[in-house]
Amino acid sequence: MSGTVSAAVHQLLLEHDVRHVFGNPGSTELPFLIGLGTDIKYVLGLQESVVTAMADGYAQASGRPALVNLHTAPGLGNAAGALFTAQKNKTPLVVTAGQQDTRHLAWEPLLSGPLVEMAAPYVKWATQPTSPSDVPDAFARAFQIAGTPPTGPVFISIPINFWDAEAEAPPVRRVTAPGAAPPGALDRLARALAAAQNPAMVAGAGIDRAGAWDNAVALAEHLGLPVYEEPLAPRRGFPSGHPLFRGVLKPAVPMVSQDLAGYDLILVVGAPVFTYYPYYPGPQVPPGADIYLLTDDPADAARAPVKEAFVGDLGGALSYLVTHVAARPPTTFPSRASEVARRRSEAARGRDRMTPAYIFNTLAAKLPEDSIIVDESITASPTLRDYLPVHRPASYFTAASGALGWAMPAAVGIKLAQPERPVVAIVGDGSAMYSIQALWTAAQWQTPVLFIVLNNGQYAILKSYTQAFYPGTLSQVQGLNLPGLDLCGLAGAMGVAAERVSSPDALGPAFERGLAGGGPYLVEVMSDRTVPALF
Amino acid sequence: MKIVAVLPPSDQIPAQERLLQGMLKDHEIRIVTSGDALAPLIPEAEILVSTAFVPITGEMIRNAPRLRFLQVAGVGVDHIDMEAARAAGITVANVAAANAVSVAEHVVMVALAMTRDLCNAHTAMRAGQWSLPQWMSRARELAGLTVGIVGMGRIGREVARRLLPFGVTIVYYDVQPLDQATEDELGVTLLPLDDLLAAADIVTVHVPLNENTYHLFDATRFARMKPGAYFINAARAEIVDENALIEALKTRLGAAAIDVFSPEPPQPDHPLFSLPNVILTPHGAGVTVNAQQRIAQGAIQNVLRYLDGRPLADVVIAGTR
């Protein structure tokens, strides 16, 4: 049966179990929205970076590609930062933007632009179909490409005049993703692991993305491997309360080398080797160890200066190793009870100033164990990862790109995908202002996200960087302070209940109110202004 | 009433006697400084003010038919035969919090002194030796260390308050855990005793001496401590098996600070005295000038309350006489 392009795409979306489309519409989107029906909900965001980050969160938390509906060149331009983040996050997104009518595109009408060229650097595949009948097929390809490891965003530019043309929905295609690396190759790694005197594992976000937590834990326990978390992990690949967990690597060459010194074999799983931030001279990987990489991303494998990389399904490779390397006798590791004690003492020291340690320790006591943390606390992030351990998969998300403005909208998308789990977004005041409109969507959908804004009145990360790399110059640098922000006022203006916390005793009760559910809630914490030494 | 006070010998005794007689001028006051001097006064005494260095035995209590109120000028009551006092229906009170700050400051002092190896450096310098190399290899910061407080009563809590700002992690053990709000405020975490010993770099003891704490620290417990860890006892000597401590100081511990002995004073050839890694003090942790004043004030005020028929502070045994 023949119908319109629009109807064919709607049908295909339902077949891909798409239930939400995230967008900010313009004229070019109207033909798609007409006839969308009610089985697919349109989640409106008030700026395109907000829209894209919401979809990113939704896709990661649901484990399926999400659909993003943008408007022409300006809309795609606004979304570019969030699209860059989705690429770094390896988030499967099908991003569309409306293009002007092909019949006068050559005259460069208002809002038209080189959409494919604009999107191309940030996506796995970008296309503008040359005829209407190619549009449904482009969607079918887009979902497959986005969702096949290494997952990532794809882009389709759709001229407005194509939607009402005739087309048929293409048949649903099934593609089986590649499996684990071949046994012959993995046997080399198994032999190296068996021969290693002092091996360690670095757990990356890819483990969480691949749903391979249990396999990673099984291998670590099987071999008694101490486990470190990759620097700046956008998701956490290993339970941070596990006795084998040894901490989070810092994003600088000398710090990684120091933490990993003494190991003769380092097995990196599901991570680039490694994500650094400031440049330091010297070898880019820890010297003196053989580094092996398990990844589902050929690009990460190609870039990493490792002894050998194995591309394929992580869970399969990890479980192969469990069955092909003899178990090592268990080793004793420091009790986790002393870790809890360390955090509690540090938190008590920071109580009066409301340091991140105090704030997160207070939050940890209130958080249900199945909570999801969406982190953009920047200078406070190392403390956050320490104080809010993850106990189960898909419990922590942050932007792999280092961009600001991702976490608040992403938290709204995550909550839409995981309505049963408590979701807490923790952001700085600087971060919040990049995507504050996310509160409006949260209010409209009544998504019970707890937004915690750590208001320290500054871009503390830049002050920390200045102190580390340009000592003595901080007083000369303009543009690092953020006076006069009233986050509660902004929340109230968009329909989100909010309160400001200025004294330590008020913090716990505020978190309890925010976690009570029923709708979004914002807690603005007037937090410690001390600039931490991070580098 | 006939009031007898047993005070430590000092040149302050005449002044103290004049003060007490002035304050209690309608009553008969006797001050003694030894058990021998106390014995003949006991049969007539109605109120006894007692300090830890003269034991109040069951025999003394049975020889004191008129004694109704025993005020301890101090915190510990283990020098008193409590069963005999209870059986005789005597009211016993102490001055509970009076030395907590002094003891806590003492713990901070010896913790710093041990982690810097202060006493050996001082001794070496006095002997004309420039001991910087030894200092450099031994001196450590408190920051980052874990302190285990065994006994989280008033003194334990004051120790925690003072050590927390040094950047330490604090764990504690007590048969009566704190409530969570107090744990959060103090930044302290309850651990089973053996886990505490395994986690702590510094262990400091603040439990009372009783049948459950006698030789609480024996060879097994010292063996659970970290190699190189520091041990502080400013509580009671009998909580520690001294032989086990000496052996641990020779084989495992970094250092110890010992304020209490059994008997007191100890023999001059006490084996602890010859060890290089011990800081010794004469049961003085809680006996600062300030604490003595606080104890004297507290004891006198309680005696005055008793004489006035008002409720007493810090009652340990509510008497029936």
> Tens digit of pLDDT for each residue in A326-382?
999 776 666 677 889 999 999 999 999 999 999 999 999 999 999 999 999 999 999
Tokens 């459950």 sit on residue? B212
- Partner B contacted by A337 (CB < 8 A): yes
Measured distance CA(A174)–CA(A186) in Å, rounded: 28
Measured distance CA(A510)–CA(A527) in Å, rounded: 14
Q: Residue B178: what are its φ and ψ, rounded to 5°?
A: -70, 160
pLDDT at A175: 80
In order of A254, A264, A270, A272, A286, the CA distances from A260 in angstroms are 10, 9, 17, 16, 7
Cα–Cα nearest to A47, from A398, A521, A406: A406
Q: Smallest Cβ distance to B184: which of A338, A341, A348?
A: A348
What ipTM is given for this predicted complex? 0.83
| Cβ neighbours of A288 (radius 10 Å) | 13
pLDDT for residue B25 is more than 90: no
- Partner A contacted by B168 (CB < 8 A): yes
Assigned token pair, B267: 């023999």
Measured distance CA(B105)–CA(B99) in Å, rounded: 10
pLDDT at A10: 96
CATH number for the region A183-324 comes to: 3.40.50.1220
Per residue in A447-482, pLDDT (tens digit) is: 999 999 999 999 999 999 999 999 999 999 999 999
Provide the edge-to-edge strand list for the sheet that holds B146-150.
B188-190, B169-173, B146-150, B202-205, B230-233, B255-258, B278-280
Given this structure, which CATH class describes domain B2-98+288-317?
Answer: alpha beta
Measured distance CA(B136)–CA(B148) in Å, rounded: 25
DSSP state of A262: T
Asked if the Cβ–Cβ distance from A341 to B195 is below 8 Å, we say no
| Averaged pLDDT for residues B257-261 | 97
Q: Closest Cα of chain A to B105: distance in Å?
A: 19
For residue B101, give every residue at least 6 positions away whose Cβ sits within 8 Å of its Cβ, in sequence order, or none: B158, B290, B291
Assigned token pair, A391: 């106990």
Start-end ranges of CATH 3.40.50.1220 in chain A? 183-324
Which residues of chain A are within 8 Å of residue B146 when distances are taken between CB atoms?
Answer: 338, 341-342
Which residues numbered 341-380 in A keep a CB inside 8 Å of some CB on B? 341-342, 344-349, 351, 361, 365
- Partner A contacted by B195 (CB < 8 A): yes
- Partner A contacted by B184 (CB < 8 A): yes
Question: Please, are residues A168 and A110 in contact by the beta-carbon 8 Å criterion?
Answer: no
- Partner B contacted by A308 (CB < 8 A): no
pLDDT at B32: 93
* Helix/strand number for chain B, H first, E second: 13, 13
pLDDT at B284: 93
Beta strands B315-317 and B91-93 are antiparallel
Which residues of chain A are within 8 Å of residue B164 when distances are taken between CB atoms?
Answer: 345, 348-349
Asked if the Cβ–Cβ distance from B170 to A335 is below 8 Å, we say no
Per residue in B189-210, pLDDT (tens digit) is: 999 999 999 999 999 999 999 9
Nearest CA in chain B to A334: B199
Q: Smallest Cβ distance to B168: which of A335, A345, A347?
A: A345
Per residue in B307-318, pLDDT (tens digit) is: 999 999 999 999
Vertex B92: Cα angle to B86 and B95 (nearest 5): 150
CATH number for the region A3-167 comes to: 3.40.50.970
For residue A267, give every residue at least 6 positions away whose Cβ sits within 8 Å of its Cβ, in sequence order, or none: A189, A193, A199, A200, A201, A202, A225, A292, A293, A294
Measured distance CA(A49)–CA(B17) in Å, rounded: 84
Start-end ranges of CATH 3.40.50.970 in chain A? 3-167, 336-526
Vertex B93: Cα angle to B91 and B97 (nearest 5): 165
Residue B110's H or E segment, with its range, is helix B100-115
The answer to whether the B2-98+288-317 and B100-280 domains have the same CATH topology is: yes
Question: Please, are residues B103 and B206 in contact by the beta-carbon 8 Å criterion?
Answer: yes
Assigned token pair, B63: 């020889």
SS3 readout for B10-53 = CCCHHHHHHHHHHHCCCCEEEEECCHHHHHHHHHHCCEEEECCC
Cα–Cα nearest to B46, from B32, B62, B65: B65
pLDDT at A421: 97
State which fold the A336-526 domain adopts. Rossmann fold (3.40.50)
Asked if the Cβ–Cβ distance from B199 to A337 is below 8 Å, we say yes
Measured distance CA(B243)–CA(A326) in Å, rounded: 46
- For chain B, the average pLDDT equals 94
- Partner A contacted by B170 (CB < 8 A): yes
- For chain A, the average pLDDT equals 95
Q: Show me where the domains of chain B are located.
A: 2-98+288-317, 100-280
Per residue in A503-517, pLDDT (tens digit) is: 999 999 999 999 998
pLDDT for residue A499 is more than 50: yes
| Averaged pLDDT for residues B39-44 | 94
Confidence of residue B19 (pLDDT cuts 50, 70, 90): confident
Measured distance CA(B124)–CA(A113) in Å, rounded: 82
A96 torsion bin: left (phi>0), alpha (psi -120 to 50), beta (else)? beta
Confidence of residue B175 (pLDDT cuts 50, 70, 90): very high
Measured distance CA(A467)–CA(A451) in Å, rounded: 30
pLDDT for residue A1 is more than 50: no
- Partner A contacted by B161 (CB < 8 A): no
By mean pLDDT, which of B17-26, B69-78, B139-148, B273-282 is the weakest? B17-26
Measured distance CA(B15)–CA(A17) in Å, rounded: 93
Q: Say how many residues make up chain B.
A: 321
Burial class (CB in 10 A: 0-12, 13-18, 19+), B40: exposed
Percentage of chain A exceeding pLDDT 90? 91
Per residue in B88-127, pLDDT (tens digit) is: 999 999 998 889 999 999 999 999 999 999 999 999 999 9
CATH architecture of B100-280: 3-Layer(aba) Sandwich (3.40)
Asked if the Cβ–Cβ distance from A342 to B146 is below 8 Å, we say yes
Per residue in A240-292, pLDDT (tens digit) is: 999 999 999 999 999 999 999 999 999 999 999 999 999 998 888 888 899 99
Question: Please, are residues A480 and A458 in contact by the beta-carbon 8 Å criterion?
Answer: yes
For residue A452, give every residue at least 6 positions away whose Cβ sits within 8 Å of its Cβ, in sequence order, or none: A359, A363, A424, A425, A426, A427, A511, A514, A522, A523, A525
